[in-house]
Amino acid sequence: MTLEPAVEMLWEDADPTVVLAERFGFDSAGAAANWVASVLSSRYSLAPDACDRLILSDGNALAWVTCDGEPFIAKWSVVPDRFARLPATARLTTWLGDRGHPVSAPVAALDGRAQLELDGISLSVQRVAPGEHLDVGDLQLVREAGATLARLHADLAAYPGAADFSLSRTPAFSSKGSIEAWAAGDVHHLPTEAVRLLVRRLANLSDTQPPEHLVHGDYRSANILTRDGEITAVLDFEELRFDSPISELARSAVMLGTLFRDWGPVPPDVHRALRDGYEGFRPLTEDESNWWPLLTLWWSLLMVPAGDDPTGWGAAADDMARCLTHDTER
């Protein structure tokens, strides 16, 4: 396979040919494609016909490869600190696929492994899932995304291999204490009344934290594929972490419309639709319902940049705070 595939950056503003050489060790896209072809043929017994494109992101590379007419993605990392976690993630994704979740499970290599380490990289191969990124303008699809997240949470809470991720466990980012500490820091660039409202309402919550378990970690349009009114794939479990389901639901509602270079807020009806779909499968508890408006406001405030705000995160957070105040006063 000697084709010279297109090579691009997923989100960084950098020269992809320079990144390909300096981070990944390939002097051309063709050299990278030929290396991928040799791995697929020798380690997976696949017969590559063509490599259409390479996409680079931080220390990860993805190659779209056609083998005997079927599309695959080869994804590899050159960051050794991630290598121990990647096989655990591959096992979890395989487990979810076996339980009927719409995930892109890894293809097993000839030796049975779902994640290979070779030549200083960690690599997996997946079949290309059909579909397009979630359109947040389609509220019925957004509700389906909420239901899919609820079903995913139910099984992640029961995953028997959760201990594989415990070594990388960090304190809950969205705990009451962590939000209070954040609000006491440098928040001068944020809408003042929105921050004050968040702190006041947070003080009225119980000190009991919502229960935690494994969650996806990055559930948004960039990682949700749809076709014909259905969710066809939930992608990229590499941000998997321990947190409360209500925190992930709120974060996902706020960030649902974000893609790779489009990071604008979505309107409130998208938040409601995602929650409605989620509660169609698993209703929120009273405590979770109390956390919901504060977490959606907090995640919105976290998205407000310190400088220019071209997509309007600050205005969205301000509007959210006014609505929360109005609902409280009614």
Residue 221 lies in a domain: yes
Residue 1 lies in a domain: no
User: Are 308 and 266 in a shared domain?
Assistant: yes
pLDDT tens digits, 187-238: 999 999 999 999 999 998 887 778 899 999 999 999 999 999 999 999 999 9
User: Are 166 and 265 in a shared domain?
Assistant: yes
Residue 100 lies in a domain: yes
* 225 contacts: CB under 8 Å, gap ≥ 6: 129, 130, 131, 132, 133, 134, 231, 232, 233, 234, 235
What is the CATH number for 55? 3.30.200.20
Q: Which helix (H) or strand (E) is 67 found in, with range?
A: strand 60-67
Using the 3D structure, point to which of 106, 128, 150 is the last residue of a domain. Answer: 128
Residue 114 lies in a domain: yes
User: Are 180 and 115 in a shared domain?
Assistant: no
Look up residue 135 and give its two tokens: 């359109």
Boundaries of domain holding 45: 6-128
User: Are 188 and 323 in a shared domain?
Assistant: yes
- Residue 128 pLDDT exceeds 60: yes
Residue 249 lies in a domain: yes
User: Are 166 and 208 in a shared domain?
Assistant: yes
In Å, how far from its chain's centre is CA 135? Answer: 16
Q: Which of 203, 221, 309 is nearest to 318 (CA)?
A: 309
User: Are 180 and 225 in a shared domain?
Assistant: yes
- Show the CA angle centred on residue 56, arms to residues 54 and 62, nearest 5°: 50
User: Are 177 and 97 in a shared domain?
Assistant: no
When mean pLDDT is compared across 115-124, 253-262, 282-291, the lowest value belongs to: 253-262
pLDDT tens digits, 18-58: 999 999 999 999 999 999 999 999 999 899 999 999 999 99
Helix (H, G, I), strand (E, B) or coil at 274: helix
Residue 274 lies in a domain: yes
User: Are 100 and 79 in a shared domain?
Assistant: yes
Sequential DSSP letters for 235-265: ---TT-EEE-HHHHHHHHHHHTT--SS----
Total domain count, the chain: 2
Using the 3D structure, point to which of 128, 155, 179 is the last residue of a domain. Answer: 128
Tell me what percent of the residues of the chain surpass a pLDDT of 70: 95
What mean pLDDT comes out for the span 120-133? 95
User: Are 55 and 171 in a shared domain?
Assistant: no
Provide the 8-state DSSP code for 190. Answer: S
Residue 171 lies in a domain: yes
User: Would you state the pLDDT for residue 18?
Assistant: 97
Mean pLDDT of the chain: 92
User: Are 146 and 230 in a shared domain?
Assistant: yes
Using the 3D structure, point to which of 128, 157, 185 is the last residue of a domain. Answer: 128
What is the CATH number for 200? 3.90.1200.10
Largest Cα–Cα distance of the chain, in whole Å?
68
User: Are 94 and 72 in a shared domain?
Assistant: yes
Residue 118 lies in a domain: yes
* 192 contacts: CB under 8 Å, gap ≥ 6: none
Total-model pTM = 0.93
Beta strands in 2-45 (DSSP E): 6-9
Query: Distance (Å, rounded) from C-alpha 150 to C-alpha 156?
Result: 10
User: Are 122 and 92 in a shared domain?
Assistant: yes
Q: Which of 225, 10, 255 is nearest to 101 (CA)?
A: 225
- Residue 245 pLDDT exceeds 70: yes
